[in-house]
């Protein structure tokens, strides 16, 4: 299917995509905070500026969009039909950067938890995922 937008309109639409305070991130943050979990946001001192930083547990949570970070097996992670080579390079670079950042965080002694957009796209899923993250953080601190 061909793009129905002009290049200028597509550029405008793409420029509105945020990297912080996304809906999935806000849903997860709201639920974790309600559970008493306290965190810092986007710590610039850490590789990749993780979405949520839990210094108490020496852990970070990365909230990945399924489309941009290529969630395997997820229907949202489809590749656009036009300009396929561009998108493949873009997605490969995103995945490579994610891997490098996760390895750098682990090398610094941080536990890394990845939460996918589709795991928090409804209030019920967000509550369930937040509870799972909280359990993982607490379990990690006990070891």
Q: Give the model's pLDDT for residue 142.
A: 72
In a domain, 97, yes or no: yes
In a 3-state reduction of DSSP, which class is residue 52?
A: strand
pTM for the full predicted model: 0.85
- Determine the structural domain holding residue 120 and report its residue range: 33-53+69-76+83-141
Report the distance separating Cα 68 and Cα 19, nearest Å: 11
Give the integer Cα–Cα distance in Å for 8 and 83. 16
Question: How many domains does one find in the chain?
Answer: 1
Residue 4 included in any domain: no
Query: Within a domain: residue 105?
Result: yes
**Termini Cα distance of the chain:** 52
42: alpha, beta or left? (left if phi > 0; alpha if psi -120 to 50): left
Mean pLDDT by 10 residues, the chain (143 residues): 70 69 90 96 95 95 92 87 89 96 97 95 95 91 68
**Residue 127 near residue 31, CB atoms below 8 Å:** yes
Asked if residue 115 is part of any domain, the answer here is yes
Asked if residue 121 is part of any domain, the answer here is yes
Q: What's the confidence (pLDDT) of residue 14? A: 65
Give backbone dihedrals phi and psi of 63, rounded to 5 degrees, phi first: -100, 110
With respect to residue 22, please indicate whether it lies within any of the assigned structural domains: no
Q: What is the CATH number of the domain that holds 123?
A: 3.40.960.10
Residue 26 placed within a domain: no
């Amino acid at each position: 299917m061909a793009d129905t937008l002009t290049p200028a309109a597509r550029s405008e639409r793409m420029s509105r995509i945020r990297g912080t305070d996304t809906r999935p991130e806000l849903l997860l943050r709201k639920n974790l905070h309600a559970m008493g979990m306290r965190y810092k946001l986007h710590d610039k001192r850490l590789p990749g500026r993780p979405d949520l930083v839990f210094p108490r547990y020496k852990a970070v949570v990365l909230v990945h969009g399924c489309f941009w970070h290529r969630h395997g097996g997820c229907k949202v992670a489809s590749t656009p039909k036009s300009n396929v080579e561009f998108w493949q390079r873009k997605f490969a670079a995103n995945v490579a950067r994610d891997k490098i950042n996760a390895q750098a965080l682990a090398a610094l002694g941080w536990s890394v938890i990845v939460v996918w957009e589709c795991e928090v796209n409804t209030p019920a899923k967000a509550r369930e995922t937040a509870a799972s993250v909280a359990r993982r953080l607490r379990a990690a601190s006990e070891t």
